Structure 1
Amino acid sequence: MDFLKIPQSKIKKATNDFDQTYSVGSGGFGIVYKANLDVFNIKSLSSIEGRCKDELPMINKTVAIKRIFKRGGEQGKQGFITEIELLTSCKHPNIVSLLGFSREAHEMILVYEYALKGSLSDYFQNNGKTVNLTWAQRIKICLDVAHGVNYLHTNMEGKPRIIHRDIKSENILLDENMKAMVADFGLSVSDPMRQQASTIYTQNIAGTKVYMDPEFLTTAKYKKESDVYSFGVVLFEVLSGRVAYDSFYLKENSMGLAPIARRRFNEGTLKELIDPKITEEMITFLL
């Protein structure tokens, strides 16, 4: 992984010493900055084996730089290490690419390809803000995510079977062509030795509650089907045009969208969840 190491001095220069004007968001473990940075053009190479670092081609591009909170402690450190270990083994168009990292002077920094169109959650109604997605775009995004999750769950040469553990619309990024990529692997776990599906036991319930598999919440047993459940919640977000934790849903059920979708399915009223914009688009198309 030596070729992915980026001197912290270059990152600080690109962000003007992590100036707030470069910040584009933050999460539970760090702040994300947008900047232009020289990184290795790994995608132009079929293999880096046998090459020395100085021979690899460089490219200046817009990147996303995640600066891990120092207060994150051991969990933040483990997430940093996990992202590097897992993303360096992944090569798939629907998995976000890790372009570099820095570990100097007590700083932990990750550099990713920049998602120009933001996260999928940006396109759902939340606090009165919404950007419309066409039906075709919604279907394409869902297929992209399905391909990405299937790739993670498949054990293959050079890549372990990976369980993401935090599939949600905020962790699905969209590039300039609206291609969806699964991101944020800080909570992920891998199973490199076993080909068949297995159950992971944990003492720490980790993830985002409204997307969590109910079985995991009660038994602390996590498996790849738990990722599929979380993806199912995202599918209902796409259908309804609202995030799973929208206050509209939380007023009805503290677990958000998932139990509401189940109840309406049982009642035969699932169509009430459909985003009115989808209906409007279909009517316009038919006319």
Structure 2
Amino acid sequence: MMYNAKLDHHDTKSLSEIERKNGGELPKRTENVALKRIFNREDRHGKKGSLKRLICLLVLSIPDDLKGSLHDCLANFRTMAKLTWEKRIQISLDIAHGVNYLQTSAEDKQRIMQFDVKSANILLDAKWRAKIACFFLSTLNSTNFDARNVQMNPKESCIYSLGVILFEILCGRLHFDEIYYAENEKGLPIMAQRCFDEETIINKMIDPSLKEETDENNCILNEDVNEDSFYIFLKIACRCCAIREADRPALKAILEELENALHIQVSQCFNFIKHKHFVLLKITQIACMLF
């Protein structure tokens, strides 16, 4: 369960190095935070986590206008209908930047190996900007961390999880929706890949608010969705969910593709508005001439 709370804490960043050495008094700060409560956890992570890995309580600073989690939005079709294609790409880009930040370590810092990237752990504010939350199953690793001590490869696992989230955002449904398990046991990613290969993904899978029917059996993207932007997004989502870990893209490539998709979509919107203003101006000029 997620809680929105206020936390009083000492601000060590505000002290200079000299003040720290001289025992300067730490200033206090109050921030909004998101906290997650785990009820009666008795699985292997709960029993062995404190012994086998470093489990930390990480507090995420959040704005006052927290909207909720991406999971909550995906579970509400009315909310998803409000999300334009541009907003969906921006949310995806925010998440990808967050994953990249967690997995990129400076030489003098520890990095977080995030094992639990999913829509329930993505928080959204009133402007639909996304932040990754809940690090209960994460491990803090130093720069001399030996990857052989980890049974799974966290980077490739996170990339696959990111791909699942991209498909959720594209389809407007949670990945465990029973509709995706009607034909196969692996759910959304496999079904999406098959529909992409068969060129039926627009008809069968994407969020209805992103498409319109042309006849009884066919759909096309609606006029607000740029086709190039859409397919760039779709292809990188498919690559993220590749079965073989070696076939999944690096986070840098994911960021580049999502930024490209966003740029193309924003450019289309700008050109549309510019054209609309031009048409209105011409209509106004003609009307003035008539009178």
2:115 match: 165
Work out which of the residue numbers 37, 56, 76 in structure 2 matches 1:83. Answer: 56
Residues 69 and 235 (structure 1 numbering): CA distance in 2 closer, same or farther, change over 3 Å?
Answer: same
1:213 match: none
Name the structure where helix makes up a greater proportion of residues.
2
Residues 173 and 224 (structure 1 numbering): CA distance in 2 closer, same or farther, change over 3 Å?
Answer: same
Mapped to 2, the partners of 1:53 and 1:245 lie a distance apart of: 52
- TM-score normalised by the chain length of structure 2: 0.59
Q: Which residue type is aligned with residue 109 of structure 2?
A: K
1:58 match: 29
Mapped to 2, the partners of 1:222 and 1:150 lie a distance apart of: 15
CA shift, 1:229, in A, is 1.1
- TM-score normalised by the chain length of structure 1: 0.60
Mapped to 2, the partners of 1:223 and 1:199 lie a distance apart of: 11
Verify: 1:134 aligned to 2:84, yes or no.
yes
1:276 match: 208
Residues 123 and 73 (structure 1 numbering): CA distance in 2 closer, same or farther, change over 3 Å?
Answer: closer
Question: Are the counterparts in 2 of residues 142 and 235 from structure 1 also a CA contact under 8 Å?
Answer: yes
Partner SS for 1:155: coil
Higher relative contact order (CA 8 A, sep 6+): 2
Cα deviation, 1:87-145, whole Å, max 9, x if unaligned, reads 4xxxxxxxxx446xxxxxxxxxxxx777711111122146x664431212111111111
Residues 124 and 98 (structure 1 numbering): CA distance in 2 closer, same or farther, change over 3 Å?
Answer: closer
Question: Are the counterparts in 1 of residues 45 and 137 from structure 2 also a CA contact under 8 Å?
Answer: no
The CA RMSD measured in Å over matched residues stands at: 3.5
From the CA coordinates, give the structure whose radius of gyration is larger. 2
Verify: 1:69 aligned to 2:39, yes or no.
yes
Residues 158 and 129 (structure 1 numbering): CA distance in 2 closer, same or farther, change over 3 Å?
Answer: farther
Greater alpha carbon shift after TM alignment, 75-84 vs 154-163: 75-84
Question: Are the counterparts in 1 of residues 195 and 201 from structure 2 also a CA contact under 8 Å?
Answer: yes
Residues 155 and 41 (structure 1 numbering): CA distance in 2 closer, same or farther, change over 3 Å?
Answer: closer
1:11 match: none
CA shift, 1:194, in A, is 4.9
1:264 match: 195
Residues 71 and 139 (structure 1 numbering): CA distance in 2 closer, same or farther, change over 3 Å?
Answer: closer
Verify: 1:241 aligned to 2:200, yes or no.
no
Mapped to 2, the partners of 1:232 and 1:238 lie a distance apart of: 10
Cα deviation, 1:235-261, whole Å, max 9, x if unaligned, reads 111111111011221223332211111
Mapped to 2, the partners of 1:47 and 1:174 lie a distance apart of: 31
Question: Are the counterparts in 1 of residues 108 and 143 from structure 2 also a CA contact under 8 Å?
Answer: no
Mapped to 2, the partners of 1:118 and 1:232 lie a distance apart of: 21
Greater alpha carbon shift after TM alignment, 116-125 vs 247-256: 247-256
Name the structure where strand makes up a greater proportion of residues.
1
Structure 2 alignment gaps of length 5 or more: 213-220, 225-268, 277-291
Work out which of the residue numbers 97, 109, 115 in structure 2 matches 1:147. Answer: 97
Mapped to 1, the partners of 2:201 and 2:149 lie a distance apart of: 33
Question: Are the counterparts in 2 of residues 199 and 222 from structure 1 also a CA contact under 8 Å?
Answer: no
Q: Which residue type is aligned with residue 56 of structure 2?
A: E
Residues 73 and 278 (structure 1 numbering): CA distance in 2 closer, same or farther, change over 3 Å?
Answer: closer
Work out which of the residue numbers 117, 131, 139 in structure 2 matches 1:189. Answer: 139
Partner SS for 2:56: helix
User: Aligned residues: percent identity?
Assistant: 41
Question: Are the counterparts in 1 of residues 71 and 119 from structure 2 also a CA contact under 8 Å?
Answer: yes
Q: Which residue type is aligned with residue 45 of structure 2?
A: Q
Partner SS for 1:118: strand
Structure 1 alignment gaps of length 5 or more: 1-25, 27-31, 88-96, 100-111, 203-220
1:122 match: 72
Residues 38 and 223 (structure 1 numbering): CA distance in 2 closer, same or farther, change over 3 Å?
Answer: closer
Mapped to 2, the partners of 1:251 and 1:140 lie a distance apart of: 31
